[in-house]
Amino acid sequence: MSTPGDNVSIHTLNIHPTAVVHPEAKIGRDVEIGPYCLVGRHASIGDGTKLLAHVVVQGHTTIGQENVIYPFAVVGGTSQDKKFRGEVSFVNVGDRNQIREYVTIHRGTDAGTSTTIGSDCHLLAYVHIAHDCHVGDRVIMSNLTQLAGHCTVGEGANISGMVGVHQFVRIGRLAFIGGRSKILKDCPPFMLVEGNPAWVRGLNRVGLKRQGVSPQALSELKEAYRTIYAGDETLSSAIERLRAHVTTDEGKELVAFFQNGSQRGFTTQATRRGRGAPASEPEEEPALD
């Protein structure tokens, strides 16, 4: 068995005898490393983090403080991109995350690139976060959700179970994605999205109220939703008209999401596809699977 070097005092460690920890790994105070864990040479694990059992931490991976990582998770695995040639790339994980069983988080593909996870996230069993993804703070990803490479998930987004997300897709802040959805295009912030392929059902009003979004912002977002998805004008003209009228931070954020452009295009509303869905948003978000 390898044990950590002199980077920490031995009394701060709780390493199971069956764990294998490279002597050059950086291990913080009060870290717990359970049975059969494997911690690689370039790993850095922050104070109070717990690796419960059978956890693998590979590559140039930095894990913050007070995370709990459950059995058979792999953090810092090599990119599955066919262009990957062994370059030095990174995974950076924030603080106080719950990373459940069999979660896989892969590092970036090109030299110097990173996959990043914020703080206070819940990544449930069998979640996969591919190379070069960026996940914000307080994100929930339910069981079997899979992010392909180069995806971005905004702060506070809630992604239900068995959701597949295409590479280069952006999911905006405080968006809610319904279970078993197929996400091929960008999902704007504050919206409730579901389906295969996905469509915008309305505002994520429950999530917005839980986050304390002001009544003024809610009203402005509701009007913006109607302008973008229920009107007859083109998306570009709708966004241009909204840009001149929004006053709240949330309204400006929604407009900026569209103005920043997209590699995948934007998820549309069902009525614009002739599917006959109502133009008004539902009263409640669907339950997590």
- Active-site entry in 81, 95, 132, 186: 132
Tokens of 74: 């792999």
Which residues are paired to 99 by β-bridges? Answer: 69, 123
Tokens of 255: 């407009």
Do 265 and 168 contact (CB within 8 A), yes or no?
no
Predicted TM-score (pTM) of this structure: 0.90
- Active-site entry in 149, 154, 178, 251: 149
Which residues are paired to 51 by β-bridges? Answer: 33, 69
Which residues are paired to 73 by β-bridges? Answer: none
Handedness of CA 189, 195, 201, 203 (dihedral sign): negative
Q: Which residues contact 260 (CB under 8 A, 6 or more apart)?
A: none
pLDDT band at 289 (very low <50, low <70, confident <90, very high): very low
149-164 residue pLDDT tens: 999 999 999 999 999 9
Q: What is the DSSP string of 233-249?
A: S-HHHHHHHHHTT--SH
Angle between helices 235-243 and 249-259 (to 10 degrees): 140
Per the annotation, the verdict on 131 as an active-site residue is yes
Q: What is the pLDDT averaged over residues 80-90?
A: 96
Q: What is the DSSP string of 52-110?
A: -SS-EE-SEEEE-SS-EE-TT-EEEEPP--TT--S---EEEE-SS-EE-TT-EEEPPSS
Alpha helices in the chain (DSSP H): 205-210, 215-225, 235-243, 249-259
CATH domain 213-273 topology: Udp N-acetylglucosamine O-acyltransferase; Domain 2 (1.20.1180)
Question: Above 80 in pLDDT, residue 9?
Answer: no
Best CA proximity match to 94, nearest among 125, 134, 59: 134
**For residues 263 and 244, what is the distance between their CA atoms, to the nearest angstrom?**
25
Question: Above 60 in pLDDT, residue 279?
Answer: no
**For residues 204 and 200, what is the distance between their CA atoms, to the nearest angstrom?**
10
Q: Where in the chain is the domain with CATH 2.160.10.10?
A: 10-209
Amino acid at 221: L
181-223 residue pLDDT tens: 999 999 999 999 999 989 999 999 999 999 999 999 999 999 9
DSSP classification of residue 229: I
Pick the CATH number of 10-209 from 3.40.50.970, 3.40.50.300, 3.40.50.620, 2.160.10.10: 2.160.10.10
Tokens of 148: 């392909």
Amino acid at 162: M
Q: Where in the chain is the domain with CATH 1.20.1180?
A: 213-273
**For residues 52 and 98, what is the distance between their CA atoms, to the nearest angstrom?**
11
Do 266 and 197 contact (CB within 8 A), yes or no?
no
Q: What is the pLDDT averaged over residues 31-36?
A: 98
Question: Above 50 in pLDDT, residue 287?
Answer: no
Per the annotation, the verdict on 232 as an active-site residue is no
- Active-site entry in 22, 106, 131, 166: 131
Largest separation between any pair of C-alpha atoms in the chain:
68
Q: Which residues contact 118 (CB under 8 A, 6 or more apart)?
A: 94, 135, 136, 137, 138, 139, 155
Per the annotation, the verdict on 289 as an active-site residue is no
91-116 residue pLDDT tens: 999 999 999 999 999 999 999 999 99
